Amino acid sequence: MDAEFWQQRWREGRIGFHHDAPMPLLVAHWPRLALPPDSRVLVPLCGKSLDMLWLAAQGHRVLGVELSPLAIAQFLEENRLTARTWDSPLGRHYLADRIELIQGDAFALDSNTLAGCTAIYDRAAIIALPPALRRHYAASVYARLPPGARGLMITLEYPQAEKDGPPFSVEEPEVRALLEPGWQVDVIERRDILASQTSFVEQGVTALDTAVYALWHEGAPHAAEAASRSG
């Protein structure tokens, strides 16, 4: 799953991971993080996800990072956004109101940029990465977010032997091994979605769950406290 793999997927329009509406699991569970509205939310491997628009509509500043220039062009065009652009060592930046996109490598973000993000939204990001890259991803992104950061991660779990990724199956013990002890990892939902995922069924997958995690970096007020603060 090198950069060329993803560039080719975008060139060929093989983007079955993209949804035409914000993810219901995001909408349902994001409020429990009780983030201040103007928090800067990192969306690594963002594609052209409409979840970024939903996060911006909550008052957040969004920082999406995406390798594919096509994904960024389509995001801006399809949502009728006009962006100011500039270049930096991280890549080309696009700023449209509260949404900033970097066309660049999420593994190459610098410490200053990560330190400015107090939240992370990980949907189809960690599960897009093969096993060997996930530890590198956790170390390059999660471990470098500031104390007090919070996040929502959405994963898939299925018998990996039945189908190749991406998307890969990333099960709870692996999420914990990658993030703990720096992050508190709370499973907030696990749901059987096999019946609705016909492409998995057609490929012979016999079980498929989606799992949602609330993530609390060291120093973050944990679930109950955050919820009581949000009223």
- Pairing, β 40-44 against β 61-66: parallel
Positions 89 through 118 that interact with ligand SAM (CB under 6 A): 105-107
107: left (phi over 0), alpha (psi -120 to 50) or beta: alpha
Minimum distance from CB of 181 to ligand SAM (Å)? 26
Does 126 bind ligand SAM (CB under 6 A)? Our answer is: no
Positions 61 through 90 that interact with ligand SAM (CB under 6 A): 65-68, 71
Does 128 bind ligand SAM (CB under 6 A)? Our answer is: yes
- Smaller CB separation from ligand SAM, 26 or 226: 26
Could you count the other beta carbons within 10 Å of the beta carbon of residue 185? 18
Binding site listing: 10, 45, 66, 123
- Smaller CB separation from ligand SAM, 120 or 128: 128
Minimum distance from CB of 221 to ligand SAM (Å)? 27
Minimum distance from CB of 108 to ligand SAM (Å)? 8
What is the rounded CA–CA span in Å between residue 212 and residue 13? 27
Could you count the other beta carbons within 10 Å of the beta carbon of residue 171? 15
Q: Contacts with ligand SAM: how many residues (CB under 6 A)?
A: 20
What is the rounded CA–CA span in Å between residue 100 and residue 132? 29
Are 148 and 225 contacting, i.e. CB atoms less than 8 angstroms apart?
no
**Nearest CA to 100 among 124, 78, 116?**
116
Which residues here bind ligand SAM, judged by CB under 6 A? 6, 17-18, 45-47, 49, 65-68, 71, 105-107, 123-125, 128, 166
